[in-house]
Structure 1
Amino acid sequence: MKLLDICEAIVDCPHSTAKDEGSGYPLIRTPNVGKGRLKLSGVHRVPENVYNQRNERAVPQEDDLILAREAPIGNVAIIRQGQQVCLGQRTVLIRPNKEYVDPDFLVYYLLSPELQHKLLSSANGATVSHLNMSSIRSLEVQVPDIEIQKKIGAILARIDDKIELNTAINENLEQQALALFRQFFMDFAPYGGVAPSNWTEVSLDDVCTRITDGSHYSPADEPDSPYPMYSVKDMETYGFNPSSCKHISEEDFRKMQKSDCVPLLNDILVAKDGSYLKEIFICSDEKDEAILSSIAIFRPDSNIIMPEILLYLLKQPSVRKDVGDNYVSGSALPRIVLKDFKKYRFMLPPMDEQMKIGALLHAIRMQIKANIDEIHCLSSTRDALLPKLMNGEIDVSKVKI
Structure 2
Amino acid sequence: MEEWKKYKLGDIIHLIGGGTPKTTIDSFWNGDIPWLSVKDFNNSEKYVYQTEKSISKLGLEKSTTRLLQKNDIIISARGTVGEIAMLPFPMAFNQSCYGIRGDLDIIDQDYLYYLMKFKLAEIKSKTHGSVFDTITRDTFGNINCSLPAFNIQQKISNILSSFDDKIALNKRINDNLEQQALAIYRSWFVDFEPFKGGEFIDSELGEIPEGWGVGRLSDVGRIVGGSTPSKSHSEYYTTNGIPWLTPKDLSMTQAKFTSRGEIDITEIGYKSCSTKLLPRGSVLFSSRAPIGYISIALNEICTNQGFKSIVPNREIGTAFIFYYLKANTSKIESQASGSTFKEASGTLINSLSIIRPPLKVIHNFNEIMTPIFFQQEKNEGENEKLSKLRDTLLPKLMSGELKITDLNS
Q: Is TM more than 0.5 here?
A: yes
What is the DSSP-based 3-state SS (H/G/I as helix, E as strand, rest coil) of the residue aligned with 1:37? coil
1:90, 1:50 → 2: CA distance? 21
Q: Does residue 1:4 correspond to 2:43, yes or no? A: no
CA contact 1:29–1:87 (8 Å) conserved in 2? no
Report the CA distance between 1:157 and its aligned residue: 0.8
1:353, 1:22 → 2: CA distance? 43
1:29, 1:97 → 2: CA distance? 24
TM-score (norm 2): 0.83
Identity percentage over the alignment?
25
1:255, 1:40 → 2: CA distance? 45
Structure 2 equivalent of residue 253 of structure 1: 270
1:292 to 304, 320, 330: 304
Change (3 A) 1:141 1:37: same
Q: Does residue 1:164 correspond to 2:168, yes or no? A: yes
Report the CA distance between 1:51 and its aligned residue: 6.2
Structure 2 equivalent of residue 211 of structure 1: 223
Structure 2 equivalent of residue 310 of structure 1: 321
**1:233-266 CA deviation, whole Å, 9 max, x = no partner?**
11133245968x345444213334xx34333211
Q: Does residue 1:231 correspond to 2:240, yes or no? A: no
Report the CA distance between 1:69 and its aligned residue: 2.6
Structure 2 equivalent of residue 361 of structure 1: 369
Report the CA distance between 1:54 and its aligned residue: 9.5
CA contact 1:177–1:361 (8 Å) conserved in 2? yes
Q: Does residue 1:107 correspond to 2:117, yes or no? A: no
Q: RMSD of the alignment, in Å?
A: 3.1
Report the CA distance between 1:300 and its aligned residue: 1.3
Structure 2 equivalent of residue 32 of structure 1: 41
What is the DSSP-based 3-state SS (H/G/I as helix, E as strand, rest coil) of the residue aligned with 2:36? strand
1:242, 1:108 → 2: CA distance? 27
Change (3 A) 1:33 1:100: farther
Q: What does 1:1-80 align with in structure 2 at a 5 Å threshold?
A: 1-7=7-13, 9-14=14-19, 25=34, 27-30=36-39, 32-35=41-44, 37-38=46-47, 40=49, 43-48=51-56, 52=60, 56-69=64-77, 73-80=81-88
Change (3 A) 1:105 1:217: same
What is the DSSP-based 3-state SS (H/G/I as helix, E as strand, rest coil) of the residue aligned with 1:151? helix
**1:267-322 CA deviation, whole Å, 9 max, x = no partner?**
11012113311x212112225xx42111221111113x221111111111xx1232
1:23, 1:144 → 2: CA distance? 42
What is the DSSP-based 3-state SS (H/G/I as helix, E as strand, rest coil) of the residue aligned with 1:335? coil
CA contact 1:123–1:129 (8 Å) conserved in 2? yes
Change (3 A) 1:233 1:398: closer
Report the CA distance between 1:356 and its aligned residue: 1.0
CA contact 2:20–2:63 (8 Å) conserved in 1? no
What is the DSSP-based 3-state SS (H/G/I as helix, E as strand, rest coil) of the residue aligned with 1:329? coil
Q: Which amino acid is 1:377 matched to?
A: K
Change (3 A) 1:213 1:131: farther
Q: Which amino acid is 2:71 matched to?
A: D
Change (3 A) 1:17 1:133: farther
- Gap runs ≥5 in structure 1: none
Report the CA distance between 1:335 and its aligned residue: 1.9
27-36 or 332-341, which deviates more: 27-36
**1:310-362 CA deviation, whole Å, 9 max, x = no partner?**
1111111xx1232233x211365222133123211122212221111122122
What is the DSSP-based 3-state SS (H/G/I as helix, E as strand, rest coil) of the residue aligned with 1:129? coil
1:57, 1:39 → 2: CA distance? 18
Report which of the two structures shows the higher radius of gyration computed on alpha carbons: 2
Change (3 A) 1:281 1:321: same
TM-score (norm 1): 0.84
2:294 to 280, 289, 296: 280
- Gap runs ≥5 in structure 2: 1-6, 201-207
2:259, 2:228 → 1: CA distance? 21
CA contact 2:229–2:270 (8 Å) conserved in 1? no
Q: Does residue 1:199 correspond to 2:212, yes or no? A: yes
Change (3 A) 1:285 1:212: closer
Change (3 A) 1:15 1:57: closer
What is the DSSP-based 3-state SS (H/G/I as helix, E as strand, rest coil) of the residue aligned with 1:261? coil
2:63, 2:140 → 1: CA distance? 19
Change (3 A) 1:71 1:212: farther
Structure 2 equivalent of residue 265 of structure 1: 280
1:333, 1:50 → 2: CA distance? 37
375-384 or 212-221, which deviates more: 212-221
164-173 or 69-78, which deviates more: 69-78
Change (3 A) 1:281 1:119: same
Q: Which amino acid is 2:318 matched to?
A: P
CA contact 1:26–1:84 (8 Å) conserved in 2? no
2:58, 2:215 → 1: CA distance? 46
2:246, 2:60 → 1: CA distance? 37
2:135, 2:177 → 1: CA distance? 38
Report the CA distance between 1:98 and its aligned residue: 1.4
Report the CA distance between 1:383 and its aligned residue: 0.9
Q: Does residue 1:324 correspond to 2:333, yes or no? A: yes
